[in-house]
Amino acid sequence: MPSLRELRRKLKSVKSTQQITKAMKMVAAARLRRAQGRILGARPFANKMTTLLSDVLWQVADANGDGVLSPDELQHPLLWGNPAGPRGLLLITADRGLCGGFNTSLIKKGLEFLRENKDSSVELMTVGRKARDYFRRVHAVIRHEYVGIFNQLTYSQAEVIGHDVMEFFVQGRAKDVTLIYTEFKSAIQQNVVTVPLLPLSPPTRPAMARHAAPFVYEPARSQLLEALFPRYLKAQVFRALLESYASEMGARMTAMENASKNAQELISGLTLTANKIRQAAITKEISELVGGAEALQ
């Protein structure tokens, strides 16, 4: 059985660890609230972007007004991939750990995608230090890597990632680009999702398109459409980054809460054991004193 001094030293160490986990939980909760606010603020922009793109695309592409967009009418390079080209994978993880199985689930999903496409050429693009470090260890070829962006996450970082993805897709004559990230549901629920990023799917025809009067656009609708497609893609990347960051904070908050509870259970067990040892030592001393007194009589 360990000595009382060893137990007290271990008890002090566990209490210090519990203070750290509680502090990390509070920091993650504060960052999660801010991340949720940014997600709610970005949704109206994304919705309006989709509505505008849909309206302009249908007015420009649907020249005959039949309500169907044929391949001849859709000529934008982001709408069509090269069937014989390589595939792209954009994997978004965190820069740090201590967030439960958050990073492990994403890396497993990325490995699953690579195994399913082992007969095809796959270009890997990673966001987050955890994905980069893992795929470096397994000697995978990484086309682009982005680390340290979640400390100050802004739209400009999504623009850089979106530009690199578009350059790979258009100039590299790629077949498609797949995005793997974590979708935020709540502080205790985050879902790893795999979604196609490129080629872009044409938005659905607006419900009031046939009855509404055509808008007058400045500049021309064709020029506006050329500018909207890249912005639409970058908005999707930015939304995925925000969702991933909020999911990371939720996972870290949950992990630190569980760690604090486990530390409290360990503290209770160590305290009970220490009290038993101390009580046994006191009982032994009393017994020796009583025995010595009786021997003197």
Domain 23-254: give its CATH code.
3.40.1380.10
Q: How far apart are CA 83 and CA 221, in angstroms?
A: 29
Task: Give yes or no for residue 106 having a pLDDT over 90.
Answer: yes
Burial 46-84 (b: 16+ CB within 10 A, else e): eeebeebbbbbbbbbbbeeeeeebeeebbebebbebeee
Return the closest-CA partner of residue 185 out of 130, 238, 254, 275: 254
Q: How far apart are CA 278 and CA 284, in angstroms?
A: 10
Task: Give yes or no for residue 9 having a pLDDT over 50.
Answer: yes
Helices (H), the chain: 4-61, 102-116, 129-137, 155-171, 221-296
Show me where the domains of the chain are located.
4-21+256-291, 23-254
Task: Give yes or no for residue 63 having a pLDDT over 70.
Answer: no
Q: How far apart are CA 253 and CA 188, in angstroms?
A: 9
For residue 253, give every residue at least 6 positions away whose Cβ sits within 8 Å of its Cβ, in sequence order, or none.
25, 28, 29, 32, 187
| Amino acid (1-letter code) at residue 283 | T
Task: Give yes or no for residue 60 having a pLDDT over 80.
Answer: no
Burial 198-227 (b: 16+ CB within 10 A, else e): bbbebbebeeebeeeeeeebeeebeeebee
Q: Convert the pLDDT of each residue in 141-182 to its tens digit.
A: 899 999 999 988 999 999 999 999 999 999 888 999 999 999
Specify the pLDDT at position 65.
59
Of the given ranges (69-73, 117-121, 233-237, 241-245), which has the lowest mean pLDDT? Answer: 69-73
Residue 36, both tokens: 């949720």
Specify the pLDDT at position 205.
64
Give the mean pLDDT of 113-140: 92
State which H helix or E strand residue 177 sits in: strand 176-186
Q: Convert the pLDDT of each residue in 249-266 to its tens digit.
A: 999 999 999 999 999 999
Specify the pLDDT at position 186.
83
Average pLDDT, the chain: 85
Specify the pLDDT at position 238.
93
Which tops the pLDDT comparison, 152 or 204?
Answer: 152
Task: Give yes or no for residue 51 having a pLDDT over 70.
Answer: yes
Return the closest-CA partner of residue 99 out of 205, 285, 255, 237: 255
Specify the pLDDT at position 285.
75
Specify the pLDDT at position 211.
47
Question: Where does the pLDDT of residue 134 fall: very low under 50, low under 70, confident under 90, or very high at 90 and above?
Answer: very high
Please tell me the pTM assigned to this model: 0.85
Q: Return the percentage of the chain with pLDDT > 90, whole number.
A: 45
Contact 182/243 with Cβ under 8 angstroms?
A: yes
Phi-psi region of 74 (alpha: psi -120 to 50; beta: other; left: phi over 0): beta
| Amino acid (1-letter code) at residue 238 | F
The residues annotated with a catalytic role in the active site are: 99
